[in-house]
A and B are shown apart, each in its own frame.
Chain A
C-alpha cells in the first residue's frame, strides 16, 4: 500500500516535472520569437531569483502569501468545495489587520499583533462562510459566488480607504493610516521584503500539515471531497465538514492579507494584492493539494516572480512571460490523466494492430 502510494507520487512528480519543462520550452520559444536568447533570459531569471542573499530573501518573502493561500485552496478543494474567493478574503483580512493596527496603537506589542491576525482570520473566515452557506443551503455553485464576492470585497475596501478610512498624506493610491510602529514586523534581510511573518507562516503551515495529514479530521475532509455519499455512510457530517473547510480556507487568506499589512506595507493599500490568492490556487492545483508540495512549489513560483524582473532587465522580455509559463504548467497538468490515458490507448492500439498483423500472418500459413 505504502509502496504503491510512493510509486503514484513518483509518477505524478514526473508529470509535474515534464509539465514544467514543457512550459519552460514554450517560454523559450516565445523568447526566440521575440528575437532574444532564452539562455540569457533564463540565466537572468535564475540569478534574479536565487543569485544573491537579497534576491533569495525576496523570493522567500513571496512564498508567505503563496503558501497561505495555497493551503487555503488545498483544504477547500480537498473537501469538495471550491473556494475561488481567496483574493476577496485576503483583501478584507488585510484591511481588518490594518484597522486594528491604526485604531488601537497603544496595546502591548504582542497583544496588538495577535489581535490583528485573529481579527483578519475572523473576517476572512466569515466572508467565506457566505458562499459556504449558500452552497449547503441552496446548492448555489460556490465557484460563481466566490468570484462575485472577490469583486465585492475589492470594491468595498477600495471605498473604505478612499472615504471613511482615508489616511492623511497618501499619494494617488488610496491607503489607510500607518499602523503603530511596534506592530510592524522586523525585516530579516536589509532592503528586502523578507520579514518575521515567514516564521508565523511556517508555524501555521505545520499546523495545517498536521490537520490535513495526521488527524482523522483531515481524513474526513478528504472523504468529504472524494465521495460525499460514502463519507455520509461513514458517519462524517459532510455539510458541516464543508463549512468548516471553507471557514478555515477564508481565515488563512485573511491571515495572508494581514501579513502583507504587518510585514510589508504597514498599512492597507488599495490594490494591495496583485492576485496572490490566484497564484496560491495555481500552486495548490499543480501539486494536487499536497501541503509539502505547496511549500516547494511556492518557492518555485516565488522565484519566477522575483526572477522575472531581472529577466526583463537583461533581455527586455516583459516579466509577464512568467504568467504565461505558469498557466501553461497548469493546463498541461490538468490534462495529465487524460494525456496518460490517450498515450496508453494509442500504445494498446498499436499492440493490437501488431498482434492482428501477426495473427493474419499466422493464418496465412
Chain B
C-alpha cells in the first residue's frame, strides 16, 4: 500500500507540480526583497497560461507561446509596477485588482477568441518539448529525477542558482535588497530605489508568465478558467516559509509540490478527490503556523538571552 504511494512516480509528479510554484516564488521573492509583497502573482500566472496557449495555437510553435506569455508578463509587470511604485497605491489592493482583472480578461478572451466556455484544448496547441539526457536512462532514479521533463523544470533549477548569485553576490542584487530595506541609503549612493522596485516587478511578471506557460504548455496542454488555482498564493506562502531566500524558498515550493503530488497519488488509490485536492491548501496553512511559531520562539529566546546578559 505504501509502496503504491511512495514510489518513483511520486518524485516525478512532485517535480512537475512544484515547478510552477518554484518559478512564481522566485519572481515573488525578488519583489519581496524590494519591499513589495506581491499578491498579484495569481493573476500573472493565469495570464501567462492563457497567452502561452494563444501563441502556441496560432503560430503552431511552443516557443511563440512562451514568447507571447513573456510579453504579457512584462506588460502586467509594468502595470503592477506603475501602480505600486509610481503611483504608490496599496500593493495589496492592486494585487487583488490584478487577479480579478486577469480572471475576467482570460474568461472574456477565451470566449471571444476561441468561442468556448470553461476550457480550451486543441491538437493544434504545440506543447513544450521534453528533455532527456542520454546515458541517464539506465539508472532509474536519476532517470526519473532528471529526464523527460518539460524545459521549464530545468530552467527553474538554473534560475534558483542564478537568482541566489544575483541577490547575494552581485552589486545589483545588493541594490535590490537595499531598495526594500534601506531605500534612503540606496538613494544616497545615487541608485534609484524606484528603478530597482520596477525591475523586480517586471522580473516577477516574467517569472510568473514562465510558471503560467509551464502550466498550460508543459504540465498540461490546455487552458481552463482560473487554472492557476491559487498557485500564486501558495507561492507567496513558499516565500514566507523560505524567508525569501532562493534556496530555502525552492525547498518550500518543492514541499508544497510534494503534497500536491501526494494528493494526486492518493486519488489513484480511491480517496475522494475533494480531500486529496484539499491537501496543498491545508498544508500551506499548517506550514505558515509552524514557520511563524518558530520565528516567534526565536525572538523570545533572543530576548531572554539579552535579558540574561545584564
Pick from B87, B236, B293: contact of A138, CB below 8 A.
Answer: B293
Decide yes or no: A147 and B233 within 8 Å by CB, A331-B83, A338-B88, A339-B87 being known contacts: yes
| Residue pair B87, A335 in contact (C-beta under 8 Å) | yes
Give complex CA distance A335, B93 in Å.
Answer: 9
Q: Is B293's CB under 8 angstroms from A327's CB?
A: no
Proximity bits, A133-159, B CB within 8 Å = 1, else 0: 010001111011101110110011011
Asked if B103 is at the interface of the complex by the 8 Å CB criterion, the answer is: yes
A160 closest partner in B (C-beta): B274
**Is B268 interfacial (CB-CB < 8 Å)?**
no
A168 at the interface (CB under 8 A from B): no
Within 8 A of A (CB), among B194-239: 229-230, 233-234, 236-237
**A70-104, CB under 8 A of B: which get 1 and which 0?**
00000000000010100000000000000000000
Residue of B39, B101, B240 near A324 (CB, 8 A) is B101
Chain A contact residue count (CB 8 A cutoff): 45
A185 within 8 A of B: no
A337–B93 Cα distance when bound, in Å, is: 13
Q: Is the CB of B108 within 8 A of A334?
A: no
Asked if residues B274 and A162 are in contact (CB atoms below 8 Å), the reply is yes
Tell me if A323 counts as interface (CB < 8 A to partner B): yes
Q: Which A residues between 31 and 69 are near B, CB-CB below 8 angstroms?
A: 34
Q: Which residues on B sit within 8 Å (CB–CB) of A144?
A: 233, 236-237, 240, 284, 288
* Chain A residues, CB < 8 A from B88: 337-338, 341
A139 lies within 8 A of B292 (CB)? yes
Task: Indicate whether B89 reaches chain A with its CB closer than 8 angstroms.
Answer: yes
Determine whether A200 belongs to the interface, using a CB cutoff of 8 Å to chain B. Answer: no
Question: Does B281 contact A149, Cβ atoms closer than 8 Å?
Answer: yes
Interface flag for B2 (CB, 8 Å): no
Q: What A residues does B94 contact at CB under 8 A? A: 331, 334-335
Residue A203 at the B interface, CB < 8 A? Answer: no
Give residues of chain B (71-100) contacting chain A, Cβ–Cβ below 8 Å.
Answer: 83, 86-90, 92-94, 96-98, 100
A334→B83 contact, CB < 8 A: yes
20 examples of A-B residue contacts, CB within 8 angstroms: A138-B289, A140-B289, A144-B233, A144-B288, A151-B277, A285-B93, A321-B108, A323-B100, A323-B104, A323-B105, A324-B104, A324-B108, A327-B97, A327-B100, A330-B96, A330-B97, A334-B89, A337-B88, A338-B86, A342-B86
For residue A362, give the distance in angstroms from its CB to the closest CB of chain B.
Answer: 34
B275 touches A334 (CB 8 A): no
**Closest B-chain residue to A134, C-beta based?**
B289
Once the chains are docked, how many angstroms separate the CA of A321 from the CA of B104?
8
Q: How far is the CB of A271 from chain B (nearest CB, A)?
A: 12
- A298–B217 Cα distance when bound, in Å, is 39
Q: Are B289 and A149 within 8 A (Cβ)? A: no
Give the contacts of A149-178 with B (CB-CB under 8 A). Answer: 149, 151-152, 155-156, 158-159, 162-163
Cβ–Cβ contact A324 & B105, under 8 A: yes
Q: B131 at interface (Cβ–Cβ under 8 A)?
A: no
Q: How far is the CB of B163 from chain A (nearest CB, A)?
A: 22
**Total interface residues on B, using CB and 8 Å?**
43
Contact call A318/B112, Cβ cutoff below 8 A: yes
3 closest A-B pairs (Cβ-Cβ)? A338-B87, A323-B104, A159-B274
Nearest residue (CB) in B for A33 is B112
Is the C-beta of B142 less than 8 angstroms from some C-beta in chain A?
A: no
Q: Which residues of B contact A (CB under 8 A)?
A: 39, 83, 86-90, 92-94, 96-98, 100-101, 103-105, 107-108, 111-112, 229-230, 233-234, 236-237, 240, 272, 274-275, 277-278, 281-282, 284-285, 288-289, 292-293, 296
CA distance A34 to B97 in the complex (A): 25
Query: Residue of A at shortest CB range from B103?
Result: A323
The answer to whether residues A334 and B97 also contact, given A139-B292, A318-B112, A326-B104 and a CB cut-off of 8 A, is yes
A72 to B237, CA, bound (A): 25
**Interchain CA distance A151-B169 in the complex, whole Å:** 40
List B contacts of A163 (CB < 8 A).
272
Residues of A within 8 A of B89 (CB): 334-338
* Minimum CB–CB distance for A133 against chain B, Å: 10
Name A320's contact: one of B96, B100, B108 (CB within 8 Å).
B108
Q: Report chain A residues within 8 Å CB of B234.
A: 148
C-alpha gap A75/B169 in the complex (Å) = 46
Contact B111 A318, beta carbon cutoff 8 Å:
yes
CB of B93 within 8 A of CB of A334, answer: yes
Whether the pair A323, B237 counts as a contact (CB closer than 8 A) is: no
- Given contacts A156-B274, A285-B93, A323-B108, A145 and B285 within 8 Å (CB-CB): yes
CB contacts (< 8 Å) of B240 on chain A: these are 141, 144
A84 to B232, alpha carbons, bound, how many Å? Answer: 15
Known: A143-B39, A285-B93, A337-B88. 13 other contacts (CB 8 A): A138-B289, A144-B233, A149-B285, A151-B229, A156-B274, A159-B272, A162-B272, A281-B96, A324-B105, A324-B108, A330-B93, A330-B97, A334-B93
Structural contact, B230 and A148, CB atoms closer than 8 A? yes
Q: Are A331 and B101 in contact (CB under 8 A)?
A: yes
Given contacts A148-B281, A334-B89, A342-B87, contact A158 B97 (CB under 8 A): no
For the complex, give the distance between the alpha carbons of A308 and B152 in Å: 39
Q: How far is the CB of B87 from chain A (nearest CB, A)?
A: 2
A321 CA to B107 CA, complexed, in Å: 9
* Cβ B112 vs Cβ A151 within 8 A: no
A341 contact from B87, B237, B275, Cβ within 8 A: B87
Contacting residues, chain B, for A253 (C-beta < 8 A): none
- CA distance in complex: A155, B275 (Å): 7
Choose one: A139, A147, A156, A318; the contact of B108 (CB below 8 Å): A318
